[in-house]
Amino acid sequence: MTKADPTCSIEIRALTKTFDATCALDHLDLTIPHQCIFGLLGPNGAGKSTAIKILTTLLDATSGFATVAGFDVASKPVEVRRRIGYVPQMLSADGALTATENLMLSAGLYGLRGTERSARIHEALVFSGLESMSENLVKTYSGGMIRRLEIAQATMHRPEVLFLDEPTIGLDPVARRTVWDRLLELKASTGMTILITTHDMEEADYLCEYLAILHQGRLAVVGRPADLKAAIGSKATLSDVFVAHSGAVLEQGGHYRDVREARGTAQRLG
Amino acid sequence: MKEFFYATAAVAQAEIRKLRRDPTELFSRAVQPVLWLAVFGQVFSKVRGIPTGDISYLDFMAPGILAQSILFTAIFYGIAIIWERDLGIVHKLLVTPASRTALVLGKALAAGSRGLVQAIVVYLVALGLHIGIRWDLWAMVSVALAVFLGSCIFSTFSLVIACVVKTRERFMGIGQVLTMPLFFASNAIYPIELMPGWLKTIAFVNPLTYLVDALRDSMILGGHGMYSQTTSFGIMAAVFVALLVTASKLYPGLVR
């Protein structure tokens, strides 16, 4: 087994994932440093969600290796899970439970008990701004409130790395901004490494210190947003960078399931 | 071990809270056993076509209808799991360090609690129909244990099916296909002795048979079941452990 680089939070080497005849990730190499917000961009079907699923131990790679927080995702999945938080693209907070009950569930799954559990739940409610609504069912919340709760749930055990899969999909501009503010606050207060996938160039520009663009399962480019833009032209936007490196064409629209999930999430956040 | 217990309890608690909050499902599930006992059971008691020994046909079938009610409710538990997968809840559970077995066991225990509520409904109907139920404490504890274990078995079986078929549409088809054969290939509404040889063989490997026998023994017969309580509970426990192990292996595959 290759030894993990101690200076980075996530290390990916020749990571490959194939589904029957489809190659979702093709020898991906990527290093994500400690304590940064790192954006993973790419057209639908570029391999972003597959990469996140492998890094969060939900999916096994076909070949290659990846470490998260210093542990190999294939051989030490439980150690990885102890050190990560994950906010999936879909709305994962249980609408039939209150915010407090959702947080109690997460606390139980991370082995938090007694006064520590109560303190972390209170802390999470304050962080998400849901103290006054904590006993209301989550299905009565707005999309932004649910996302803030999910981030609080995913971070109540104080992970080293937080994964967010298109966290602001379907949110209105105000809700989107409150989610961004929470993420920046989280990074500033904890020094957590945050890996975020997004299609929103404004979001990537606002939040991310580093960006990587994936295209057809391969790394197309990686760097700081300002450097990537400068390399294209003096007035280039991140959208220009995206188009230049992803070579996206209309026929490449991702898998039916990905599109269905994205639309479903947007509809639920409505 | 502590972490395993906390995770199991957290999942079970969350599921039970949801159940408590939506009692309409419990009431709708109660309709079927009421109809079977009050309509089918009373009519067939008059026919006297099915030999049930020293007890009336209504007494004979009451434990079978309780078992059926547990089976029919628990077997569709997998639909909720597929729904949770579509909502991202399964993803969230699987990225925690909680043992997969704890996640599955938590859900099974919650289903067990749901079964106990169904048992109360069947007991109330049985009371109204003057069915000869044994009311001593040990009999009732034994019924509660059998109901709990039976619900755990069929809900976990349902989870296994959900993990294999992965879509709601396919699950509904398989669920419909499985429930009636499981029910009719058991001793729920007629004694095994009346069955042809091939059906007896199926009934012998059908866990519902052992659930019905344990319930009939405790609820009505008082120690004169077809199998001993040790045999029935032993087989049910073994089936549950096997299903728990299988479901724990298959559950992560639901999100792939």
> How do residues A117-145 score in pLDDT, each as one tens digit?
999 999 999 988 899 999 999 999 988 89
DSSP per-residue letters across B6-18: HHHHHHHHHHHHH
Predicted pLDDT of residue A133 = 92
Q: pLDDT: is B182 or A268 the higher one?
A: B182
pLDDT of B114-137, one tens digit each? Answer: 889 888 888 888 888 889 899 999
Instruction: Please name the helix (run of DSSP H) or strand (run of DSSP E) that holds residue A226, with its range, or none.
Output: helix A225-232
- B89–A58: do the CB atoms touch at under 8 Å? no
Q: Report all structural domains of chain A as residue ranges with CATH numbers, in order of start.
A: 8-83+161-269 (3.40.50.300), 93-158 (no CATH)
- Contact (CB, 8 A) for A32 and A84: no
pLDDT of A138-150, one tens digit each? Answer: 999 988 899 999 9
Domain count along chain B: 1
Average pLDDT over residues B132-152: 94
Q: pLDDT: is A256 or B194 the higher one?
A: B194
Q: Considering the entire predicted model, what is its pTM?
A: 0.87
Grade residue A258 by pLDDT with cuts at 50, 70 and 90: low
Structure tokens at B23: 């009692």
- A97–B91: do the CB atoms touch at under 8 Å? no
CB pairs under 8 A between A and B: 87
Predicted pLDDT of residue B25 = 73
- A90–B87: do the CB atoms touch at under 8 Å? yes
Amino acid at A250: L
Nearest residue, CB atoms, A96 vs list B13, B18, B98? B18
Please tell me which residue of chain B has the smallest CA distance to A59: B256
Predicted pLDDT of residue A1 = 46
Cβ contacts of B5 on chain A, cutoff 8 Å: none
Nearest residue, CB atoms, B97 vs list A53, A110, A137? A110
Grade residue A262 by pLDDT with cuts at 50, 70 and 90: low
Cβ contacts of A138 on chain B, cutoff 8 Å: none
Identify the contact set of chain B against chain A, taking CB-CB distances under 8 A. Answer: 2-3, 6-7, 9-11, 13-14, 17-18, 21-22, 86-89, 91-98, 252, 255-256
Give the minimum alpha-carbon distance from B96 to chain A in angstroms, rounded to a whole number. Answer: 5
Question: From the CB of residue A158, how many other CB atoms can be counted at a distance below 10 Å?
Answer: 12
Cβ contacts of B89 on chain A, cutoff 8 Å: 92, 94
| Dihedral angle of Cα B65, B67, B68, B70, to the nearest 10 degrees | 130
Phi, psi of A100 (to 5 degrees): -60, -45
Q: Are strands A193-197 and A37-41 parallel, antiparallel or unpaired?
A: parallel
Give the minimum alpha-carbon distance from A141 to chain B in angstroms, rounded to a whole number. Answer: 16
Cβ contacts of B10 on chain A, cutoff 8 Å: 104-105, 107-109
Average pLDDT over residues B31-59: 82
Give the minimum alpha-carbon distance from A146 to chain B in angstroms, rounded to a whole number. Answer: 13
pLDDT of A12-61, one tens digit each? Answer: 999 999 988 889 999 999 999 999 999 999 988 889 989 999 999 999 99
Within 8 A by CB and 6+ apart from A265, the residues are: A89, A90, A91, A166, A169, A170
Predicted pLDDT of residue B117 = 86
Domain of residue B243 covers: 2-45+53-255
3-state secondary structure of A6: coil
- Contact (CB, 8 A) for A20 and A32: no
Q: Is A259 on the interface with B (CB under 8 A)?
A: no
Residue A251 has pLDDT above 80, yes or no: no
Q: pLDDT: is A198 or B50 the higher one?
A: A198
Q: Where are the alpha helices (DSSP H) in chain B?
A: 2-21, 24-35, 42-47, 57-74, 77-87, 89-94, 100-128, 137-165, 168-184, 197-205, 207-216, 229-250
